[in-house]
Amino acid sequence: MKYVDEFRNAEIARAISAEIAANTDPQRHYKLMEVCGGHTHTIYRHGIKDLLPDQIELVHGPGCPVCVLPMGRVDDGIAVAERPEVIFTCFGDMMRVPGSKGNLLEVKAEGADIRMVYSPLDALRIARENPDREVVFYAIGFETTAPSTALTLQRAKKEGIENFSVFCNHVTIVPPVRALLDSPDLRLDAFIGPGHVSTVIGCRPYEFMPEDYGKPCVVAGFEPLDLLQAILMLMRQLDEDRCEVENQYSRIVPWEGNLAALKSMAEVFELRPYFEWRGMGFIAQSALKLSDAYADFDAELRYAVPGVRVADPKACQCGEVLKGVLKPWECKVFGTACTPEHPLGTLMVSSEGACAAYYNFGRKSFEKVEIGTSP
């Protein structure tokens, strides 16, 4: 398919790699954070790191919604799923995310009616087909996914479907990035901005990075050449002492975002005062809940949930990995007690999680060798 093959050309990749090297100061160490889990996946799937000078360190960010979901929210979802009148629907990866007493797959095996869906619109269809049951959609995701939930709720309201509700866990990308920039743990030089979130919110929300923190940001696509090109753009900014937001992914990302999607989200959602992020604690105005106009569809109001904050397992260091303080292989249980087959932490569950990316693409052995020699 066009739009893909041209972004995987090895010759061009090598040429951009050489250009990146030419823009790298050999006396300096650069820390670039890829905010998005999709970028982490691409970096390790395609061996992007092999094409970069040793001076450039890629730090993995918090941009995987499964990974940042605190355990208590999983328990809340399970409490709803266990109700006999409920058909509980969610995306596939969500079913394997561990709560404090198990995951949704295990609850399903014990008899709960839990169904994997590809789209919230599929959950709405299930509600139409089962008017005598209550259908709950467990919504999760950044601004990429939130429009599909918003659109589904608008259709549900328009059609007057009353046996449908949403357990909303949508989060927003800017507040956690700001929290990272405020964190004393981490010194970052620049950011690779999330591509598909930006199709919805545009590039303007990232302007606080150069304006308030003096950090460049380049919004990037997800093919190998997209990422290499974005890194080159960042290295040029750093080399030229420029600091601004640039858009590498302009074939899909409009500078102003998708106004229709933003309007739909503004009607259906409102910001929560605060929301807990795994490993990062409570972050103000970092998540969405249903607006008053859609309160009738809010599963948190329709059903009693425990709402208890649950600490991560002691051995799990997802929080430090999410903040970029630790590399996945530096976690005590990486690849031993915690594997994709038996994940202890969320970062090993999702294919976009940094730990799963390392594990699945065999980077751990390379990185273990490299860590002793890295600056």
Residue with smaller CB distance to other proteins, 172 or 373: 172
Residue in 92, 131, 214, 273 binding other proteins, rule: CB under 8 A: 92
242-281 positions binding other proteins, by CB under 8 A: 244-255, 258, 260-261, 264
Q: Does 15 interact with other proteins (rule: CB under 8 A)?
A: yes
What is the closest distance, in whole angstroms, from the C-beta atom of residue 236 to other proteins in the complex?
8
Cβ neighbours for 353, distance < 8 A, ≥ 6 positions apart: 37, 40, 64, 66, 67, 346, 347
Instruction: Detail the DSSP E strand segments found in the chain.
Output: 30-36, 56-63, 86-90, 114-116, 134-141, 164-170, 190-193, 217-219, 245-247, 269-271, 274-277, 281-284, 288-290
- Angle, vertex CA 220, rays to CA 218 and CA 221, nearest 5: 170
> Contact region for other proteins (CB under 8 A) — 98-106, 188-196, 266-274, 287-295?
188-196
Residue with smaller CB distance to other proteins, 45 or 337: 45
Q: Does 129 interact with other proteins (rule: CB under 8 A)?
A: no
What is the closest distance, in whole angstroms, from the C-beta atom of residue 265 to other proteins in the complex?
10
Single-letter amino acid, residue 241? D
Cβ neighbours for 297, distance < 8 A, ≥ 6 positions apart: 153, 156, 157, 164, 165, 166, 290
Query: Count of residues binding other proteins (CB under 8 A)?
Result: 73
CA separation for the pair 205, 194 (Å, rounded): 12
What is the closest distance, in whole angstroms, from the C-beta atom of residue 370 to other proteins in the complex?
26
Contact 366, 372 (CB under 8 A): no
> Contact region for other proteins (CB under 8 A) — 106-114, 117-125, 180-188, 278-286?
117-125
329-353 residues labelled b (16+ CB within 10 A) or e (exposed)? bebebbeeebebeebbbbbbbbbbb
Q: Does 365 interact with other proteins (rule: CB under 8 A)?
A: no
Say how many CA atoms lie within 13 Å of 31 toward its Cβ: 14
What is the closest distance, in whole angstroms, from the C-beta atom of residue 222 to other proteins in the complex?
7
Q: Does 371 interact with other proteins (rule: CB under 8 A)?
A: no
> Contact region for other proteins (CB under 8 A) — 24-32, 175-183, 197-205, 267-275?
197-205
> Contact region for other proteins (CB under 8 A) — 50-58, 90-98, 103-111, 317-325?
90-98
What is the closest distance, in whole angstroms, from the C-beta atom of residue 9 to other proteins in the complex?
7
> Contact region for other proteins (CB under 8 A) — 71-79, 142-150, 303-311, 312-320?
142-150
Residue with smaller CB distance to other proteins, 255 or 282: 255
278-337 positions binding other proteins, by CB under 8 A: none
CA separation for the pair 268, 291 (Å, rounded): 5
Residue in 36, 43, 166, 322 binding other proteins, rule: CB under 8 A: 36
> Contact region for other proteins (CB under 8 A) — 77-85, 98-106, 139-147, 321-329?
139-147
Residue in 48, 58, 65, 355 binding other proteins, rule: CB under 8 A: 65
Q: Does 2 interact with other proteins (rule: CB under 8 A)?
A: yes
What is the closest distance, in whole angstroms, from the C-beta atom of residue 373 to other proteins in the complex?
28
**Dihedral of CA 335/337/341/342: which sign?**
negative
Give 29's DSSP letter: -
Number of H helices, E strands in the chain: 16, 13
Q: Tokens 């751990």, residue?
A: 364
Say how many CA atoms lie within 13 Å of 270 toward its Cβ: 8
Q: Does 222 interact with other proteins (rule: CB under 8 A)?
A: yes
Residue with smaller CB distance to other proteins, 132 or 341: 341
Q: Tokens 């980077």, residue?
A: 363
